[in-house]
Structure 1
Amino acid sequence: MNADNPVVTINVRDNRDLVEHGKTGLLMELGDVNGFAIASKSFFRSRTAGGDGCGKI
């Protein structure tokens, strides 16, 4: 993963090794479709507003 671009991803072992929740991206629980949608929406709102995409949900 590119360290310059925060991501929204599923909270599984390999992703936890690469992404620090709230700092380099957002980790969502597997099967939490609503949470993933909310995090994605928050991520894109923050990015379009000039943020880093990792603001609090």
Structure 2
Amino acid sequence: TQPFPSDLHVWPLREQEPQVVEVVAVWPSGGLSPAVQSILDGLRRRLNKRR
């Protein structure tokens, strides 16, 4: 089972220091699917809380 919608690609990356980083990219497919829109909306809310 894929944890993300097919039009959302996520790569776990590791930096030299012990910090985990994820790069998120939306593959163009004529627009965002509702699932991707929901994920990105939640991510935006989390990021806005940290600012």
More strand by share: 2
Which entry has the higher C-alpha Rg, 1 or 2? 2
Fold agreement, TM-score > 0.5: no
TM-score class normalised by the smaller sequence: 0.3 to 0.5
